[in-house]
Amino acid sequence: MPILSRATLDPARRCATDAYYGITVGPDGKIWFSENGTGKMASITTNGTVTEYSTSMTGYGIRFIMMGPDRNIWVAMISGYLGKFVL
């Protein structure tokens, strides 16, 4: 399988809980993922720019994410809740 791009890991941007969960491509072309335990969502562009977003979901354990038909990011949490991250 060919490598399409390479990521440079930056230890300073490491998730405090070492728990990245869920990954999806958003309608904006960015790759979106959750930082479990921090209540944060993050996106990364194809050129490697990472942006973190605080949410009100701290402590709920964001696990799985996907782009919904409404073109927003939907999350399923280990606590049993569902959430919508409006883009």
Is residue 38 within 8 Å of 51, Cβ to Cβ?
Answer: no
Of 55, 57, 65, nearest in space to 20 by CA: 65
Q: What confidence tens digit (pLDDT) does each residue in 23-73 have? A: 899 999 999 988 766 777 888 888 888 888 877 766 667 778 899 999 998
Is residue 32 within 8 Å of 52, Cβ to Cβ?
Answer: no
What is the rounded average pLDDT of the residues 2-29?
A: 64
pTM: 0.71
pLDDT score, position 69: 93
What is the pLDDT confidence band of residue 76, given thresholds at 50, 70 and 90?
Answer: confident
pLDDT score, position 83: 82
What is the pLDDT confidence band of residue 82, given thresholds at 50, 70 and 90?
Answer: confident
Domains and CATH numbers, the chain: 16-85 (2.40.10.500)
